[in-house]
Amino acid sequence: MLLEDGTYFEGGGAGASGRVVGEVVFTTGMVGYPQALTDPSFRGQILTFTYPLLGNYGVPDPAGRDRWGLPYPFESGSLQVRAAILESLTPPHHFASRLSLPEWAERAHVPLLHSVDTRELTSHLRTRGVLRGVVAVGDPLPPRRELLRELERAPRYEEEDLVRQVSPKAPERTRSGRPDAPLVAVTDCGCKASILRSLLSRGLDVVRLPSSEGIPERFEGQRVVGALVGNGPGDPATLTPVVEGVRDWLKRGKPTLGICLGQQLIAEAKGARTFKLKFGHRGQNKPVVFPDGRAYILSENHGYAVLPRSLRGTGLRPWAYNPDDGTLEGMRDASGRLISLQGHPEGAPGPGEAGFVFDLFAAKLKRRH
């Protein structure tokens, strides 16, 4: 792999052969590679795992679905990363394994680069910040000057329309199975299956909407009582059509929950600003502190954040922060009808102790239903 600053890492190849260019990021999670690799928020990126052993529990049946027909235990129906970088590949030893990690990656046309010192790579990214890179797997390997030319020709992360690639093409409704369930609209920029599952398990019906489509007052004759603006890839400041749709919805004053990219889009819609983090927050061990002193450990996957001082005059107020670097982790409005969280209350992979955020949202919807 060649990084855009000229740093070169050699390793062994597995999965698919070929060359891919993407933004190189790292995750500190110890488990959950099937969920991480299928998370649409990683679209357009090359994912480095800091945990040294990958593949030991294999891959469950890729066709696995839960009772609502959602991918399980995956976050979407396919791998979303452009490539993955690992230190050590281990053979699978698990009763539920149906494929090895290299077999799964090969089927999905995703290269794996293993036997890489991922601690050195992660340290380099923490020092220099996120960098683009090109991964080449195959024989023979191209010369470095050819890899560098490929990097120079490729679009930058923020120049790609990644949300369009992972957003549904048409509205998709899923029923919770409970009679007279409230209907929630999801602005789907690449929403994780676990977020949808968190709504459905609380007795809410869900309609997933294409990211560029506005949120209707009614869908299939039923009133939409609230909305969730979900996670996804890309730079929030460039997603103008999505921001406009969110802005129109927020004017109605109905219950709204933003998660990850959703928090950033809500901030942009209300007139606040976002910025790119040096190397992002990706992992399952991220602390979040709320105003009453409660602290939770969350799973996170984001490279952008909301600028706290830009909330002035927007009607939004800080709700939680990250004690490691002071970044804004949650927002709410004065009425409490709008809440957002930068981390992932559903976990998957990771802790689910912030699931109370879904409970708050569901309670507001059921009172208005």
Q: Which residues carry out catalysis?
A: 260, 344, 346
CA 291, CA 130: separation in Å to the nearest integer?
31
Check if the beta carbon of residue 111 is closer than 8 Å to that of residue 13.
Answer: yes
Kindly tell me the burial class for residue 159, based on how many C-beta atoms sit within 10 Å of its own C-beta (0-12, 13-18, 19 or more).
exposed
Which residue, among 121, 53, 125, 137, has the nearest Cα to 87 in the 3D structure?
53
Whether the bond into 62 is cis, omega within 30 of 0:
no
Whether the bond into 210 is cis, omega within 30 of 0:
no
Query: Which residues fall within 8 angstroms of residue 267, CB to CB, at 6 or more apart?
Result: 236, 273, 274, 306, 310, 311, 314, 316, 331, 340
CA 2, CA 201: separation in Å to the nearest integer?
44
Transcribe 90-157 into DSSP letters.
-----TT--B-HHHHHHHTT-EEEES--HHHHHHHHHHH--EEEEEEESSSPPPHHHHHHHHHHSPPG
For strand 18-27 and strand 45-49, is the pairing parallel, antiparallel, or unpaired?
Answer: parallel
